[in-house]
Amino acid sequence: MSVIKINQKAYENNLKNIIKKVGNSSKIISVFKDNAYGHGAKILAPIAKSLGINFVAVKNEKEAYNLENFFENILILSHRPHGNENPKFIYTINEISKIQEYKIGTKIHLKIDTGMHRNGVYMENIEDAFLKIDKAKLNLEGIFTHFSSADEMDASFFVQREKFFQAKSLTQKRYENLIYHSYNSSALFRNQEIPQDEFFRIGIAQFGYGDKNLEKVLSLYAHKLSERILKSGQSVGYGRSFSTEKNLKIATYDLGYADGLFRYNGQGGLFLANNKKILGKISMDSFSCEDCGDEVCVFNDAEIWADFFNTISYEILVKLHPDIPRVLI
Ligand SMILES: *Cc1c(COP(=O)(O)O)cnc(C)c1O
């Protein structure tokens, strides 16, 4: 059975590193969306809690219910209002025209579109949104924005930050004791001065990506299904994309693209953590390689697979099937 090993110490060290950077664990909104980026929300929740995290962000209500016994504050990022919102959760307003569709009294954070143009209310419509929120008798607890290019050294980050400052001061004229947040992992790790009056929504950095002082938390293991000697000239797997020039002891392991691996087509050289090549194409439920014993580490750094597949570590991680057991090491 394939397994995902979660390194508890690494996760704790990363969180401690982040807490130190922001000054206080109460200013962190741990982003736990999509099963904590594939790491397993339920397995990490008690660890985060033990380090003082009491605020998380998730994708939808299902994820919020999954964590309701762990955290006091749960912000739902991608909610479509249905009028029966749970008073325990905090819901994002992504769209000004849907404000009246939330249940009276619902706790909300208003998202401001400062330049990403994905979700949220335009700067010029903030006052209008406030009127609608008051009319719908919603309980505004915070405002936030999201940067489109926090990981790049271009000017847009500063433009968006400036707009959010303006949004904050508009809000402060009308409401007291709201919370504000804009920084994600890469904004926090830009090594610039950080705002003192904000919370921080931290996702990928918790898991060890984005700064050299962080440690990778997740490693993915597969287990041997069978072994054989591949004779010179024989091939393994669909399409015969790999064939050996000399006799080779190979083995087939129990992890494939149905488990969330990207489908490698056998071209270009994709390597396991031990630097052995995957031989031939990845199948739905298995892959083959030189015999590496009963258990093999597929990867312990998603960046390597992300580079190979021309994507980002986020995608490699969240694709890992929720049915793969997650265990703490
Ligand atoms: C996913 C997400 C984050 C976390 O981003 P990281 O880059 O993983 O830190 C923060 N805010 C919003 C709105 C998100 O969707």
Measured distance CA(217)–CA(168) in Å, rounded: 35
> Of 33, 107, 132, 168, which residue is the catalytic one?
33
Q: In this structure, are 99 and 185 located in the same domain?
A: yes
> Does residue 27 have an active-site annotation?
no
Q: In this structure, are 162 and 260 located in the same domain?
A: no
Q: What are the CA-CA distances from residue 172 to residues 18, 45, 70, 245, 263 (Å)?
A: 27, 33, 31, 72, 50
- Probe ligand 1: pick from 15, 30, 31, 147, max atoms within 8 Å of CB? 31
Annotated binding-site residue numbers for substrate = 118, 284
Q: Which of 63, 84, 83 is nearest to 75 (CA)?
A: 63
Q: In this structure, are 274 and 199 located in the same domain?
A: no
Rounded to 5 degrees, φ, ψ at 263 are -80, 105
Q: How many domains does the chain have?
A: 2
CATH number at 226 reads 2.40.37.10
Q: In this structure, are 97 and 197 located in the same domain?
A: yes
Q: What are the CA-CA distances from residue 168 to residues 54, 115, 163, 165 (Å)?
A: 23, 15, 9, 5
Run of H or E including 170: helix 156-174
Q: In this structure, are 167 and 244 located in the same domain?
A: no
In a domain, residue 322? The reply is: no
Atom of ligand 1 nearest to the CA of 78: 15
Domain of residue 273 covers 218-300
CATH number at 155 reads 3.20.20.10
- What sign does the dihedral 8-49-22-38 (CA atoms) show? positive
Q: In this structure, are 289 and 162 located in the same domain?
A: no
Q: What are the CA-CA distances from residue 266 to residues 223, 272, 288, 327 (Å)?
A: 20, 13, 10, 30
Q: In this structure, are 195 and 245 located in the same domain?
A: no
**Per-residue pLDDT tens listing for the chain (329 residues):** 899 999 999 999 999 999 999 999 999 999 999 999 999 999 999 999 999 999 999 999 999 999 999 999 999 999 999 999 999 999 999 999 999 999 999 999 999 999 999 999 999 999 999 999 999 999 999 999 999 987 877 789 999 999 999 999 999 999 999 999 999 999 999 878 899 999 999 999 999 999 999 999 999 999 999 999 999 999 999 999 999 999 999 999 999 999 999 999 999 999 999 999 999 999 999 999 999 999 999 999 999 999 999 999 999 999 999 999 999 99
Q: In this structure, are 15 and 127 located in the same domain?
A: yes
In a domain, residue 104? The reply is: yes
Q: In this structure, are 143 and 15 located in the same domain?
A: yes
Q: In this structure, are 185 and 63 located in the same domain?
A: yes
Q: In this structure, are 120 and 252 located in the same domain?
A: no
> Does residue 33 have an active-site annotation?
yes
